[in-house]
Amino acid sequence: MSRIVLVAPDSRLERQVRLVVAEEMVVIPATDPEQFSGRLGRMAERPELIVFGHQLPRHLALALASAGRQHADSMAIVSDEPDIMVEAMRAGISDVLPTTVDLDAIDLMVARAHEFAMDAAAAGRPAPSLRRLGPGRTIAVASPKGGVGKTMIACNVAVGLALLQPGCVVLVDLDLQFGDVSSTLGLEPVYFLEHAVAKGAARDSLVLKTVLTKHPSGLLVLCGPESPATADRVTAAQVGHLLRQLADEFLYVVVDTSPGLLEHTLTVLEQATDVVAVTSMDVSSVRGMRKELDVLDELGLLPDSRQVVVNQGDRSSGLTIADIETAIGARVDIVIPRTKGVGAASNRGLPVIIDQPRDKASRTLRVLVTRLSTEPTRKGWREASRKEKVS
């Protein structure tokens, strides 16, 4: 059995991985990308994780990753090159490890890859695939309380997806009153949401595309209304139409929302194929999350594919992840730690996954991107929450 494939590792990396997974690994030398892909495809079992060693020339490691991505659930590279992250993500690599990586970090990476592979298998998903036919995915980032990190997560997820599929991802700022996507991403828009719902754009998707603002990552952004007064004139029905138009044109429509369940947010959730439900680690935010998920469940507005994200994870809060899971009646999928890098990146108008790729928050955000870039799981929050209520 070979859960982990190491490509041209140095002896330290090989030893470390062996300590974690014993014999469940295979070491293969660097070949050309076609041979590499063929070899992976012929393996008796699909690898959970491929790790590229730091001695591989960068261009070869990335070419091998691109060729091998459909044969593995997760990929990582060991590299100290500070600017490798963007290209690595484009090649399908979600983790960049420093050459000084320690055993704990390897253990965590292997555990995460295993969990992801189990989820994929349970969902009957053949392979993470970036190709998609038919209407695009609409990913709603929502939370009952304000200030928990929705905008930070929406921006980083959208940029992460855009690095994988430049030109195919649009981020919509639907925090109508206080939207701050443009400042978080350092954009200076000329057009705003009100232009996207005006008659010309609503009738013609080509016109709609001209009011989007380009981000250097390849992401397109529909910035929030220019002022709260114009925001008042945007109706929920217009928002619904807009999202349908965008889903016809893009592979991914990521939507940042305002806190709570206002009419416009409910409209977003009606259209959403995926929800990223965000809570912080404080009691009122967690209670709010439980209520919000219950209400959405009753309204039939909770998409089957959902990621429960605990942001600003912090041991000092007094709550554990197990406490939170009990309180909300569902599994926590991702924990994003509170880090200085997030605030620093945001102050510079940059997404943390690009500005500080080695930041711990960037690592978990990349895992979230990887999960959202695969076919939606059909495990169903509803089923999980019903079980919880019955027990």
Ligand X SMILES: Nc1ncnc2c1ncn2[C@@H]1O[C@H](COP(=O)(O)OP(=O)(O)OP(=O)(O)O)[C@@H](O)[C@H]1O
Nearer to Mg ion, 175 or 194 (CB): 175
Residue 313's Cβ-side half-sphere holds a number of Cα atoms within 13 Å equal to 19
CA distances from 188 to 172, 180, 208, 349 (A): 15, 11, 18, 11
| From 342, 350, 368, 372, residue interacting with ligand X (rule: CB under 6 A) | 342
Supply the minimum distance, in Å, between the C-beta of residue 328 and Mg ion: 21
Instruction: Say which entry of ligand X, Mg ion, none residue 245 contacts (CB below 5 to 8 A, set by partner kind).
Output: none
Comparison of 339 and 385: residue with beta carbon closer to ligand X: 339
Taking the complex as a whole, the smallest distance from the CB of residue 15 to ligand X amounts, in Å, to 33
Residues that bind Mg ion (CB under 5 A): 150-151, 175
Picking from 321, 312, 318, 315, the residue whose alpha carbon sits closest to that of residue 278 is 312
∠ CA 68-69-70, nearest 5°, is 95
DSSP strand E in 34-83: where? 49-52, 74-78
Question: Which residue, 107 or 314, is less far from ligand X as judged by CB?
Answer: 314
Q: What are phi and psi of 5, to 5 degrees?
A: -110, 125
Q: Of 349 and 376, which CB lies nearer to ligand X in the complex structure?
A: 349
Kindly indicate which of the ranges 29-37, 61-69, 121-129, 143-151 contains the residues binding ligand X, using the contact rule CB under 6 A.
143-151
Q: Is residue 194 within 8 Å of residue 233, measured between CB atoms?
A: yes
CB nearer to ligand X: give 68 or 149. 149
- Kindly indicate which of the ranges 60-68, 91-99, 232-240, 335-343 contains the residues binding ligand X, using the contact rule CB under 6 A: 335-343
Q: Is 364 in the site for ligand X (CB under 6 A)?
A: no
DSSP code per residue over 172-224: EEE-TTT--HHHHTT---S--HHHHSSHHHHH-HHHHHHTPEE-TTS-EEEPP
Range list of β-strands (E), 32-163: 49-52, 74-78, 95-97, 137-142
Contacting ligand X (CB under 6 A), which of 17, 64, 117, 152? 152
318 touches ligand X (CB under 6 A) = no
Least distance (Å) between residue 254 CB and Mg ion: 13
- Identify what 324 binds: Mg ion, ligand X, none; CB under 5 to 8 Å per kind: none
Burial class, 125, CB count within 10 angstroms (exposed 0-12 / middle 13-18 / buried 19+) = middle
Look up residue 181 and give its two tokens: 């996507």
Task: Answer yes or no whether residue 339 interacts with ligand X by CB under 6 A.
Answer: yes
Stretch of residues binding ligand X (CB under 6 A), selected from 150-158, 194-202, 211-219, 317-325: 150-158
Rounded-to-integer distance, Cα 150 and Cα 268, Å:
14
H/E element, 256: strand 252-257
Of 147, 200, 216, 228, the one binding ligand X (CB under 6 A) is: 147
The whole-angstrom separation of Cα 345 and Cα 352 is 5
Give the shortest CB-145-to-ligand X separation in angstroms: 7
- The region of 139-147, 225-233, 320-328, 371-379 touching ligand X under the rule CB under 6 A is 139-147
When CB distances are held under 5 to 8 angstroms depending on the partner's kind, the choice from ligand X, Mg ion, none that residue 265 binds is: none
Binding-site size, ligand X (CB under 6 A)? 19
Rounded Cα gap, residues 391 and 386, in angstroms: 9
Closer by beta carbon to Mg ion, 56 or else 176: 176
Binding site for ligand X (CB under 6 A): 143, 146-152, 175, 259, 311-312, 336, 338-339, 342-343, 346, 361
